[in-house]
Structure 1
């Protein structure tokens, strides 16, 4: 579920007046493609900047700026998806598109074998919001397979992970805008643990120590959310097949 969908769900279900005001104004920002700084946004909502910052923190972001950057990113990708008019593409066109991607990612087969071996260690999965559903799928499979595994909680500092952890496998899923917290954690644990990254091309240059790094963008251009979700889902399914 993307951020916009989460906001829509909150708007429908919340009984908290302050939360509803913030959420409805964020959705208006998205729909109108007009994103205000926190000072102007607080005036629009008739709420304090601290109330808006508190909402952003509880939602798993470092602050309002990171939250609004995430919404901007989703808006840009939303426009890209709509402009591509995927609904009008024939089944054959879509099939060929994804077959081309699958052929490209077959080169990562040995890397996936290495990831499978590293998952024999205690594993801590850490994911950005954009890829959280895919990481959760892998987490539930590993747990049901009796692997020792944890899934990070995005609402806590350091993703609720003990930064003194040693001799574990950290499996990072990184894509989108809200990744600063992940890289802060990575820099604290990379020296004493095995490191696996599923990441975008743009973020890959920030990873200087790793055991396995799989880049899910086919080239230097960012993959839109629709395609990225499908591609990462394919990679996770291939990893699960190797564990089975």
Structure 2
């Protein structure tokens, strides 16, 4: 069941990152954004938000292996609730230890990031949909610290916008073609600096260092919800130092 949940969640992510504005992309993106906030919309709510019929939502659920929308949300809700219960006992489990060790290993990144952001005029945040919630947390932290920050729609960005700024990339999953192109362009900007937090599957980070972090926690943190928790704990460390 755990493997099945990872596959279906990954299917949801891949659909949300489709390069075409398909109905499945709109539905999956809406579901993901709400799942990341712990919201479990019913079928009628999804239909209204996405301007589609209830039968279209049912067909969408069937494409990722469920008999219907209700069954799909039942499974996602169970996974979310199980994870929430596990979070309450983090300090007594290896999960919390794994996370603490991961953050400690990346203290060079945290310190460098804080130092560069402290003197930066502009910070751009690019993200995969799986890490949308984490991107929003970082954005709000920077605003609170009176920084000029932007969350960027990477499908509409002008390359010139990357110059004279710090470009932050939060990337998870394998289907991030547009983001990878922007990441490559950002690296070429001589007057800018890039910081990358990426999953191993993305292929963007081979080793963690002062400007790059890999989501290389143990298997306990191998899915999207867990990576968001890890990211937000990392953001908390950054917040305390800024």
TM-score, normalised to structure 1's length?
0.64
Encode CA deviations 1:87-120: one digit per residue, 9 max, x unaligned.
8869657632212321232121121011112223
2:151 alignment partner in structure 1:
151
SS class of match (1:147) = coil
The alpha-carbon distance between structure 1 residues 233 and 131, as it changes in their structure 2 partners (threshold 3 A), is: same
Give the Cα–Cα distance (whole angstroms) in 1 for the partners of residues 55 and 139 of structure 2: 35
1:110 counterpart residue number = 108
Return the alpha-carbon distance in structure 2 between the equivalents of residues 232 and 15 of structure 1.
28
Deviations 1:51-84 (CA, angstroms, capped at 9, x unpaired)? xxxxxxxxxxxxxxxxxxxxxxx99x969959xx
* Cα distance in 2, alignment partners of residues 78 and 197 from structure 1: 29
Counterpart position of 1:29? 63
| Secondary structure, aligned partner of 1:190 | helix
* Mapped contact 2:205–2:213 kept (Cα < 8 A): no
What is the distance in 2 between the residues matched to 1:139 and 1:113?
18
Looking at structure 1, the residues matched to 90 and 84 of structure 2 have their Cα atoms a distance apart, in angstroms, of 11
Unaligned 5+ segments in structure 2 are 1-29
Matches of 1:159 and 1:150, distance apart in 2: 14
State the distance in 2 between where 1:21 and 1:103 align. Answer: 47
RMSD of the TM alignment (CA)? 3.8
Corresponding residue of 2:240:
241
| Structure 1 residues not aligned, in runs of 5+ | 35-73
Separation (CA, whole Å) in 2 of partners of 1:142 and 1:87: 27
| Alpha-carbon distance change, 21 to 98 in structure 1, aligned in 2, over 3 angstroms | same
How many positions carry a matched residue from both structures?
A: 195
Larger Rg: 1
Q: Secondary structure at the match of 1:164?
A: helix
Supply the distance in 1 between the matched residues of 2:87 and 2:205 (Cα, whole angstroms). 38
Cα distance change on mapping 1:111 and 1:86 into 2, 3 Å: closer
Report what 1:134 is aligned to: 134
Q: Give the match's secondary structure for 1:206.
A: coil
Structure 1: distance between partners of 2:49 and 2:89: 46
SS of corresponding position for 1:171: strand
Q: Which residue of 2 is the match for residue 123 of structure 1?
A: 123
